[in-house]
Amino acid sequence: MPRTAVAIRHVHFEDLGTFEEVLARSGYELRYHDIGVHDLGTIAPSKTDLLVVLGGPVGVNDGEAFPFLAEERRFLEARLAADRPTLGICLGAQLIAAALKARVFASDVKEIGLLPVTLSEAGRNGPLKHLAAVPVLHWHGDTFEIPEGAQRLASTEACRNQAFALGTNVLGVQFHPEVDLSGRFERWLVGHAFELAAARIDPASLRAQAREVDTTLRNAACRAFGEWIEELRE
C-alpha cells in the first residue's frame, strides 16, 4: 500500500510545486484538500501518513473574516498532539506555530523576493543544510515566535524566525522552498498582482530572479525535502 500525503491548499496556485515529484519517488500518494471545496472533517487528524499545510494570502489572525482558520488550527492541535508527520509552509508554518501556542504577528517588513536564509547550528545539521546560500522565495507579511520545545533553523535580516523543527516529525518554514519557478511561477505573479502593486514590486524583477535561481533552488529544495521525509518516524 502506498503511503498517503494530504496537502491543505488555500489558493490553487500555491501548491506543492517541485515537491510533488519527491513525494511520488518516495512512494506517497498525494491528495489536495482545497479550502472552500472540501470538508476538513473528512480527514482524520492522525490517519494520513503526511500532512502538508500550504501558504495563502490570509493570516492566522484573520479568523473573524475567515472561520476556516480556526478549524485548521484545531485540526493541527489534534495532529500535533499525536506527533504525526506535519510540514507547514508560510501560512502553514504560522498555523502550526499557533496550534503550538506560539504568537503569530505582523512583521515589520513585508518580505517578498528571492534571497538566502541564514541557518542556525540546528539548521546546518538537519535537512535544511541543502539550502545553505541558496536563494529561496519569500512572500509574507506575518511571522511567528518559535514554539516552546522547538528549534530555530533559519533566519533573515528582516525576519528572525524563518523555520523551526519540533522533533523529527514537525517542520515549519516561513519561506517557499517548494515553488516551481520555471513551470508555475507566473500564476503566483498574477494571483498576487494587487499585493505586488501595493508593495511597489515589479513582477519583471521577480521573473528575472526566478530565472537565475530556478535549477539551483529546485535541486537543493528537493534534496532537503527528500531527506526530511526519510527521517520521519511512524
**CA geometry: angle 155, 220, 202, nearest 5 deg:** 65
14, 90, 140, 192: which one is catalytic? 90
Q: How far does Cα 43 stand from its chain's mean position?
A: 20
Residue of 111, 176, 192, 222 marked catalytic: 176
CA distance 164 to 202: 31
- Assess whether 176 carries a catalytic annotation: yes
Nearest residue to 159 (alpha-carbon basis) of 117, 192, 211: 117
What is the per-residue burial (b if ≥16 Cβ within 10 Å, else e) of 99-134?
bbebebeebeebbbebbebebbebbeebbbebbeeb
Active-site choice (14, 72, 145, 178): 178
At 107, the amino acid letter reads S
Separation in Å, CA 87 to CA 2, 7, 158, 208: 19, 9, 23, 29
Q: Is 222 a catalytic residue?
A: no
Q: Where in the sequence numbering do the catalytic residues fall?
A: 90, 176, 178
